[in-house]
């Protein structure tokens, strides 16, 4: 049975390809819709159509216009929303600045890791910025968000600072979690961000628990805050995810399962790891949507519709964002042994999420190339300065070793009598 989602009703489309180049086109042709897939791929590579009588006149922050992006949504047991968004120059500039800051921050992480200022695990998000930005634009601070270890940019969107994130990666006390969490364990309670998880897929049952808490604390009949758990295609076939989804469906929890399909689970492509690569259908009776994850506006509108559905008592929803990561799985992975450089270059040239926003700003908002380059220059300087400040910070002292573990009767930090170290002599006592 189909379910209306959002205010608009659109006819069901033929199969659409959301990530046109390379392997996605190959997979569509394998499924027996070669001519349709190729046509859709050509259409979706073109710039979005903007509905306005005089787009070049849209030069002030107050002006709004409609952007259409046909083929951006596919539905499973649900009608997707209209493939369009109303936006403005001010809004697009806000998204552009955040996404470019994310990109520069991750490039800085790459450089500092190679310089050994950052050590340990480090998973970068460049190429996937439209998802973090668009999802955040659709949610409120009352909504709960938990994600995987690829979480630097989500922390930035959810109230963090470049300096705090970089200092955390360097293990310094001015870091976002005091230098004790590192790359995979950011957290911001005031923004209902419950951080990353170092164990693949482990965040999904926790996210379902957050959805349970949101429903439990909301008076009957009122709109519930939603919870989202983001995970990659490499985690999508885990049993714990289906167990969590089953409970969420039984109890009609306001839960959104978000698959960030960047086409490779570590070094394994999706056709080699999954018998069903349409992850948005993996919930069986749970509705799902597949969304173009390289377009911040389609991400925002898809998440808005999902939130409307889940927050009003309809139960959980699966969202699959088709995206692409430019770096390897982690800094220990060059990312070119299981894919070639031409594939990465093609994605950068045709589907980069930041270039997409820049094109909208220049074509329809009277933004100039010089204006956008000046913004980029300022952001590069800001990120570089933040990195210098992060480096100047110091690691947390020994007095912080046992904080945030034990609480006293008043909910305050309580230090244990003994902290065991490798030897008796090295152990710490009061």
Residue 299 backbone class (left: φ over 0; alpha: ψ -120 to 50; beta: rest)? alpha
Flag whether pLDDT at 79 surpasses 80: yes
> For residues 284 and 62, which has the higher predicted lDDT (pLDDT)?
284
Longest Cα–Cα distance of the chain, Å, equals 78
Distances (CA, A) of 256 to 47, 226, 285, 414: 29, 7, 14, 36
Please state, in angstroms and rounded to a whole number, the distance separating the CA atoms of residues 430 and 426. 13
Flag whether pLDDT at 323 surpasses 60: yes
Strand-pairing partners, residue 257, are 229, 318
> For residues 1 and 257, which has the higher predicted lDDT (pLDDT)?
257
Q: Could you read off the pLDDT of 117-129 as tens digits, one per residue? A: 999 999 999 999 9
Q: Which of 40-49, 316-325, 347-356, 372-381 has the lowest mean pLDDT?
A: 40-49
> For residues 270 and 12, which has the higher predicted lDDT (pLDDT)?
270
Q: What is the pTM of this model?
A: 0.84
Please state, in angstroms and rounded to a whole number, the distance separating the CA atoms of residues 304 and 139. 7
Reduced to 3 states, what is the DSSP secondary structure of residue 428? strand
Flag whether pLDDT at 30 surpasses 90: no
Flag whether pLDDT at 26 surpasses 60: no
pLDDT score at 20: 37
Flag whether pLDDT at 413 surpasses 70: yes
pLDDT score at 403: 86
> For residues 411 and 258, which has the higher predicted lDDT (pLDDT)?
258
| Sequence-distant (≥ 6) Cβ neighbours of residue 56 within 8 angstroms | 364, 366
| Sequence-distant (≥ 6) Cβ neighbours of residue 173 within 8 angstroms | 167, 179, 393, 394, 395, 396, 397, 400
Token couple for 328? 């390897």
């Amino acid at each position: 049975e189909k379910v209306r989602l959002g205010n608009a009703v659109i006819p069901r489309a033929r199969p659409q390809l959301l990530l046109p180049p390379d392997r996605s086109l190959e997979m569509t042709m394998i499924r027996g819709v070669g001519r349709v897939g190729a046509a859709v791929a050509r259409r979706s590579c073109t710039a979005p159509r903007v509905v306005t009588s005089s787009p070049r006149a849209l030069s002030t922050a107050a002006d709004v216009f409609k952007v259409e992006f046909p083929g951006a949504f596919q539905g499973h047991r649900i009608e997707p929303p209209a493939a369009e968004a109303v936006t403005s120059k001010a809004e697009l500039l806000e998204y552009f600045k955040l996404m470019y800051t994310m990109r520069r921050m991750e490039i800085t992480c790459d450089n500092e890791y190679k310089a050994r200022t950052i050590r340990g695990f480090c998973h970068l998000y460049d190429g996937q910025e439209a998802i973090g930005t668009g999802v955040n634009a659709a949610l409120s601070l009352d909504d709960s968000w938990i994600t995987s270890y690829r979480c630097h940019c989500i922390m930035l969107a959810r109230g963090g600072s470049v300096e705090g994130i970089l200092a955390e990666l360097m293990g310094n006390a001015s870091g976002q979690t005091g230098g004790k969490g590192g790359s995979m364990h950011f957290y911001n309670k005031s923004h209902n961000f419950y951080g990353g998880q170092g164990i693949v897929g482990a965040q999904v049952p926790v996210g379902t628990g957050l959805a349970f808490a949101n429903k439990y604390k909301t008076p009957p009949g009122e709109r519930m805050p939603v919870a989202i758990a983001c995970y990659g295609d490499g985690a999508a076939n885990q049993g714990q995810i289906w167990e969590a989804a089953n409970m969420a469906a039984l109890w009609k929890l306001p839960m959104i399962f978000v698959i960030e399909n960047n086409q490779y689970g570590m070094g394994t492509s999706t056709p080699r790891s999954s018998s069903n690569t349409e992850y948005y259908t993996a919930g069986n009776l749970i509705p799902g949507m597949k969304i173009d994850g390289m377009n911040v506006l389609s991400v925002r509108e898809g998440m808005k519709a999902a939130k409307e559905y889940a927050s009003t008592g309809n139960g959980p929803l699966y969202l699959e964002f088709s995206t692409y990561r430019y770096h390897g799985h982690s800094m220990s992975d060059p990312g070119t042994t299981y894919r070639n450089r031409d594939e990465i270059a093609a994605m950068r040239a045709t589907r980069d999420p930041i270039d997409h926003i820049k094109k909208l700003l220049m074509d329809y908002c009277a933004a100039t190339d010089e204006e956008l380059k000046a913004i980029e220059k300022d952001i590069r300087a800001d990120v570089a300065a933040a990195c210098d400040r992060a480096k100047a910070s110091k690691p947390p002292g020994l007095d912080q070793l046992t904080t945030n573990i034990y609480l006293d009767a008043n909910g305050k930090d309580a230090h244990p009598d003994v902290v065991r170290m490798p030897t008796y002599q090295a152990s710490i006592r009061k």
